[in-house]
Chain A
Amino acid sequence: DTGVSQDPRHKITKRGQNVTFRCDPISEHNRLYWYRQTLGQGPEFLTYFQNEAQLEKSRLLSDRFSAERPKGSFSTLEIQRTEQGDSAMYLCASSLSGATDTQYFGPGTRLTVL
């Protein structure tokens, strides 16, 4: 299967702990996006990369959140000092290279903060 993969699929953590999620995009895709989805809502844009460059970050991405894509391949999203409000599904998507290229989504990482 050469789709977008995310790891872990589920994460339960205690408030105040740090967590890190990984996304592996489709191999030839240059663009990588992170979204967050809470219950009853549509996905909300967090940030995106063009190769290894992080080009835009949403205001939703507080300073506790950091994302990297060090070699332009996989990406990580880290949340420091987690809060209960961080509980959500974190979705990763990738696309070829242009802004209008179709984004292919991974299965998501469901985070529960106790």
Chain B
Amino acid sequence: AQSVTQPDIHITVSEGASLELRCNYSYGATPYLFWYVQSPGQGLQLLLKYFSGDTLVQGIKGFEAEFKRSQSSFNLRKPSVHWSDAAEYFCAVVNTNAGKSTFGDGTTLTVKP
């Protein structure tokens, strides 16, 4: 069965500091991985996705993520956080047969001024 673990429930960083959000997955085949962001009262917005190829993927809003098969990880990074990045972030793995996504429980990001 597929699963996603986001070890950090809550992270606080100062504006301008770098950010890394962790994601570990379990999936029997080559994973299709996604990062989404959810602001209060909003739906999920896709930040980036990994299917194959280059293991470092670029997304919107200056985010990037690196796929590491040996560590079953897909960590999200941003070199300099902005106050508007405060939100909840979800990592997900997609079942390539059915398309249903399995999400982690999310990491809430707080940005200090």
Q: Which of A14-22, A71-79, A104-112 contacts B (4 or more CB under 8 A)?
A: A104-112
Shortest A22–chain B CB gap in Å is 15
Shortest A31–chain B CB gap in Å is 6
Instruction: Please tell me if the beta carbons of A56 and B43 are within 8 angstroms of each other in the complex.
Output: no
Q: Which of B60-68, B69-77, B78-86, B90-98 contacts A (4 or more CB under 8 A)?
A: B90-98
Most-contacted residue by chain B among A42, A55, A99 (CB, 10 A): A42
Q: Mark A46-65, 1 if CB is under 8 A from B, else 0.
A: 00100000011010000000
Tell me the nearest residue of chain A to B97, going by C-beta. A99
Give the bracket for the number of chain A residues in contact with chain B. Answer: 20 to 34
A2 at the interface (CB under 8 A from B): no
Instruction: Please tell me if the beta carbons of B99 and A95 are within 8 angstroms of each other in the complex.
Output: yes
Instruction: Please tell me if the beta carbons of B101 and A103 are within 8 angstroms of each other in the complex.
Output: yes
Report how far A31 CA is from B97 CA in the complex, Å.
Answer: 13
Listed A/B pairs (13) with beta-carbon separation below 8 Å? A33-B101, A42-B92, A42-B104, A42-B106, A48-B98, A48-B100, A58-B100, A91-B43, A91-B44, A99-B94, A100-B96, A104-B46, A108-B43
Residues of B within 8 A of A (CB): 4, 32, 34, 36, 41-46, 49, 51, 90, 92, 94-106
